[in-house]
A = this chain, B = another copy of it.
Amino acid sequence: MQPRLIVNTGDGKGKSTAAFGVGLRAWSQGWSVGVFQFIKTSSWPTGEKLAFQTLGGVHARTGQGGPVEWVNYGEGRTATRAGARADQRGLAERGWQQVRERLADQRHDVLILDEFCHVLAKGWLDVDEVVETLLNRPGHQHVVITGRNAPQKLIDAADLVTEMRKVKHPFDKGEKGQAGIEW
A167 with B178: CB separation less than 8 A: no
Q: Is residue A127 within 8 Å, beta carbon to beta carbon, of the partner chain?
A: no
Give how many copies assemble into the complex. 2
Q: Tell me the bound Cα distance from A25 to B45 in angstroms.
A: 11
A54 with B55: CB separation less than 8 A: yes
Contacts A4-B170, A161-B168 known; A14 to B25 CB distance under 8 Å?
no
A179 with B29: CB separation less than 8 A: yes
B47 with A54: CB separation less than 8 A: no
A180 with B14: CB separation less than 8 A: no
Q: Is residue A13 within 8 Å, beta carbon to beta carbon, of the partner chain?
A: yes
Q: Tell me the bound Cα distance from A2 to B58 in angstroms.
A: 33
Binds B, one of A93-101, A131-139, A152-160: A152-160
A interface residues (Cβ-Cβ under 8 A, vs B)? 1-2, 4, 6, 8-10, 12-22, 24-29, 31, 46-48, 50-52, 54-55, 58, 64-65, 109-110, 142, 155, 158-170, 175, 178-183
